Each structure stands twice: as C-alpha cells, then as structure tokens.
Copies of this chain bind each other. A is one copy, B any other.
Amino acid sequence: MEIVMAFQYLTNVPLEQAKKEYLELLVKNGMRGVPERIRVQDACGRVTACAVYAHICAPHYHASAMDGIAVQAGDTFGATQTTPVTLPPERYTVVDTGDPVPEHCDAVIMVEDLVKEEDGSVRLHDAAAPWQHIRQIGEDICAGEMILPAYTVVSPSAIGALLAGGVLELDVLKKPVVGIIPTGDEIILPTADPAPGDIIEFNSSIFSAMLREWGAEPLTFPIVPDRFDEIKAAVSEALSKCDIVILNAGSSAGREDYSAQVIRELGGVLYHGVAMKPGKPAILGYQGPKPVLGVPGYPVSGIIVIEQLLKPIIEAMTRRPVRQEETVRAQLSRPVVSGLKYEEFVRVRMGHVDGRLIATPLNRGSGVVSSFMKADGILVIPQGLEGHEAGSEVEIRLLRPKEELEHTLVAIGSHDPLLDELADLLHRGNAAYYMASTHTGSMGGIMAVRRRETHVAGIHLLDENDGTYNESYVRRYFPGGGVRLVECVGRTQGIMAEAGNPKQITGIESLASSDIRYVNRQKGSGTRILMDYLCKKHGLDTASIYGYEREEFTHTSVAAQIASGSADAGMGIYSAARMYGLAFIPVCTEQYDLLIPDSAWDTPFVQEMLEILRSREFAGKLEELGGYTLQSPGEVRCRF
C-alpha cells in the first residue's frame, strides 16, 4: 500500500441552490412521471396520471331504496286514510331494496305502508309521490363525470367510486425504480459473523425502506469492488434498468474514488460537493433525464443526502402531495456549534419535562446509525450561522409524532442495562408510553435534574466520607429540595477481565502493571468516582495504570473493549461482564437509585414506572441479567 491522495477540489454549492438546479436540469432533460395502467383494486395510495371519468352511472338502473312494492304513482293518486286505493296484483311488483324498479313504475311504497288483501291486491291509504323511495340512475355518479382529477392520490372510497362508475383499470404514475449500487472492496452482505475489516453493507436496506415510504421501488444491485471499470459497468447496467441510480460510497475525494469520474463518463455531473453536513461529498449526476446520485458511505450522511437531494426528485416524478414537515419549538439543553460554510443537520433527542420541550443534540458522528434511530428530530442550522447557545429556542423538524414525545419518560444519568428493560416493560404495559435513556453518568444525571431536563436520573454515587450512596450528593446539589430518591437495585461492581482471567487480576492492586491495559469510564460517572476512590484507598497512582485516560460511556462498551482484546481490564457491573462472557472480580456492592424531581412525580408514566419497579416481572428480568439485589424497589428512600 502506498500513501496517495488523489485529491479533487469539491464544490461547496448551497444546498437549496443545488436542489433547485438539479431538479430543473433533470426536468429540462425530460424527466417526468410515466403512466402505467393498473387494476383499480391495486390503486390505493397511487397517484392518477390523468383525469378519470365514469363509464357508467351508479346506480346504473332505477333501484328500489326500500323493501316494498313498485307502482305507477298515478295509480295511487287520491288515496287517503278514508279513501284507500286498492291495486290488483298486475298493477304492482314486489321489490326488495336494490331491486330494479320495473320500467312502467315510478314509485316505491314501503311494505309497512300497505295492507295485503286475501285476493293478492294491496290497499293503500296514502298516495305515492313520483320517484319516492327510488334511487335514480346516477344518484351517486353519472356516466361521463370526472371521478378523479389528474395527480390525485387514490383513496379507499375512491376505489369504490371508480368501480361503481364501471372503471376497472386506470392510469397511475409508475413508481420510479431506483437502482442502488453498493461499492467497496471491504463491503460485505449482512452477517452476524463479520471478520475484522469487513464492513457490513446496510445502507442499501435503509435507503430501500426510505424509498418505499416515498412511493419509489428500490432495486439493489450486487456489491461492486473499487475498480473503475466494474463500477462503470454496474452504473451502466443500472441505468438501463432503472429510472434513478444511487451510487453508494466512493463519493468523497479520497484515493479510491471513481464515482464522479464514472458518472461524468456516462452522463454528466452538475455538482460534486454540496454545502451540507453531513453529506458534503454528494455527487449530483445524471444521464439525460435520469438522476445518478453519488452518496457518501457513512449511513447518516447517506440518509441525509438522499432525503435532501433525492426525495424532491421522487416527489416531482410521482406527484405525491408534499406534506408540510411537522416542526416544534424546543429549548436546546446544550450549545451547538456549526461551521459557517455549510448547512448542518443535527439529530436531537427531545423530552417534555416540567412544561418545556427540551432538545439535546446527539452524537454527530455520521457513522453512528443508532443515533439516527434514536433521534426524535432534526435541527437544521443554516449555512452562515455559527450555531446556537444552550437555552436557545430552536425549531426542530420532528421524526416522531409530537404526541409520542409528550408520553415519553426521559431518563438521563448513569447507565445500566436495566434501564432498557424498564423501557421495554413500560411500553409493553401501555403502548402510549415510551422511555428514552441517555447515558451521561451519575453526575450528569444530577445536573440534568437540576436543569429540569429529565424526569428521572439513575445515580450511584459513593460518599467517600461515610461509605453511603447517593443521599449526601442529593442533599448537596438540591439544597432547596424538590426531589425524591427512589430505591432501585443493589448491584455488584467489579473488575472485568478477559475470559479465564489469563492476567490473573485479583483486585485493584493488580491494575498498576505495565502489561495490563485498562479501559476507564468517563469522568462524572459513578463508576469512575468509585474507581478514583478505590485507587486512593489502595494508594495507587492512577498514572501508573496504563489506559486510565481511555474513557468509555457505558458498562457494555467497557466490556466490549475487553472482549475485543483491545484492553485487559475495566471496572463495571456484573451484568455487563456476563453479557460478554468475561471474568469478573467483585469489588463492592453499591446502591443504584433513581432521582425523580417532584414536578415529574405525578406524571402517569413515572407512576407506571414505579409500579414496574415493584413488579415480579422486573425482578425476573434482573435475575436474567445477574448481579443485582432487590430490597424494596420503587420505595421512596428520601424526600428532599
């Protein structure tokens, strides 16, 4: 391998301009919706390609609207209570609802309004008005009438109206077929057992799902290695079969980047490089009227690029009504800094806490697909704006319905896998409730409660002076009270080590050895505070522990590092060690509690969560996880 940089200068065209010019170019090149004829029964949700007219009337005959008899109204004129009219059998016909009214008849009399005589004639005490109780031809739809205009979404009841109007097939706009070409030498199909260096190709699955939601038809091609000719052949083939092509990865200006060149040779490139983040290296290419979009490899970049640049094109081709994006005003819990040179899309989590809607920016790494999954909304920071200060009110585009946010229990604080189980049980018990946890460590949880940003905070904070947990911290940080400390679980902390403990770690003292690579937790986490305390207690200089500055944010991620062999030891709870089959050297048992502000106490989901803490089902889940002890979970230990 050689160190080479085939650097290409990317453009930095503003996103709105890029979108507009791209669409205009494609339309100019002849891009348009293509009609296809389908059965009416298959048309729900599809968009009409042209106006549809009724072929026949509905009803298509004069139908009785009642059970009774059909008569000629003239025969009944003069009938009253005192001067009834009697009709012989040949002057009336028995009809049921929906039956055709015989040609010579022009009124229906309900069965309740007549008296049947023994000789088969009927006696009437009321005259019939012409056309009474008859559904006349065309009452619902008249032949020749327009049932649906062009570019209209077909609804279930429109399907009924079309069939009633004798329309069996109609022209709708064809779903554009979008070819997706994954490229890259390291890319492999999804597997549960990848080798190091393999990169699981899941972008095409994400894009396919998005495209289907937008009314397009995805078609994923086999993975193409990073070779110019093969990529060119794949794009050529996709162009012959599809209306739109997505070339995934290889759109940055890195050394194995053939995308722009391939697209240029097969058609043209309007822009390579858009002033957006993530997604800057997007390639806006085309072959005649067909868009060929070069999409960066990182999933979050890819999602943003196809949403921003491809969705408007699909909307133009399918003529679906463009729904206004739902937005909310929310208050930023943290500052967000953005570059002046691009429009940035920041994923945020949101929570309704204490009467305010709070938005917290998520991990901005564009490789972190789970951050997109967890996002409740997108904060768009326009080009030319440096960001927002903490506390600013910002407009957020919603990724989840507003009502879900209103029913979401927000948990910010110390990590424990039991929080996920709690979230699962809460939502199982009541489909309207959700729980969203963010792992910031115990001190982060206390601060979030102080800043009124969370309904609950998991904390496990050791007071070095007396060996107690949590209470003294709460007292110190909430001198004015207003919070309750709720008992949750006792849990075992210890040193996690490679399975079989080959380095023969026996306790904290073993860690100050040059052949042991330690992985730590972040500052402010209860586990870090515990570790710092234990080192002090054992007279250990933390500088003598290799890797003490290497920080992870959860017990599981510490365990994952050890399991991968990139660290030999780390402090964490038993359940995490067990999850990864690691050796575990117990160090102490600590109290993990939940801190809940009074303002959240009476919310139905907090009360529901307390119920769950006390449930047998929750106890069972903890047993499965291992390393927990339960005394009286859900009880208020202290009210401050």
Contacts and interface: CB of A to CB of B under 8 A. Distances in A.
Nearest to A60: B194
A142 B136 CA distance: 68
A560 interface: yes
A636 to B, nearest CB: 27
B368 A140 contact: yes
Contact of A156 (B61, B114, B210, B375): B210
A549 interface: yes
A321 B404 contact: yes
Interface string A428-441: 10011000000000
Contacts of A384: none
A157 B196 contact: no
Q: Please classify the interface of chain A as helix (H, G, I), strand (E, B), loop, or mixed, using the class held by over half of its residues.
A: loop
Contacts of A67: 5, 254-255
Interface in A55-94: 55-62, 65, 67, 69, 94
A472 interface: no
Interface residues of A, number: 133
A547 B417 CA distance: 80
A192 B166 contact: yes
A304 B361 CA distance: 44
A473 interface: no
A403 interface: yes
A561 interface: yes
Nearest to A51: B424
Interface string A33-54: 0000000110011000001000
A580 B60 CA distance: 13
Interface in A401-425: 401, 403-404, 417, 420-421, 423-424
Contacts of A197: 61, 98-100
Contact of A373 (B139, B158, B323): B158
Contacts of A375: 157
Interface string A532-558: 000000000000000101101010110
Contacts of A135: 365, 367
Contacts of A143: 556, 560, 563, 579-580
Contact of A139 (B40, B365, B566): B365
Contacts of A254: 67, 96-97
A297 B62 CA distance: 18
Given A192-B166, A404-B321, A566-B62, A130 B57 contact: no
A335 interface: no
B202 A299 contact: no
Contacts of A401: 321, 323-324
B561 A138 contact: yes
Interface in A321-360: 321-324
Interface string A456-500: 000000000000000000000000000000000000000000000
6 contacts: A51-B424, A61-B196, A135-B367, A143-B579, A145-B420, A150-B424
Given A45-B209, A62-B564, A160-B373, 9 more contacts: A60-B198, A131-B550, A142-B557, A143-B560, A146-B417, A146-B424, A149-B424, A163-B205, A321-B431
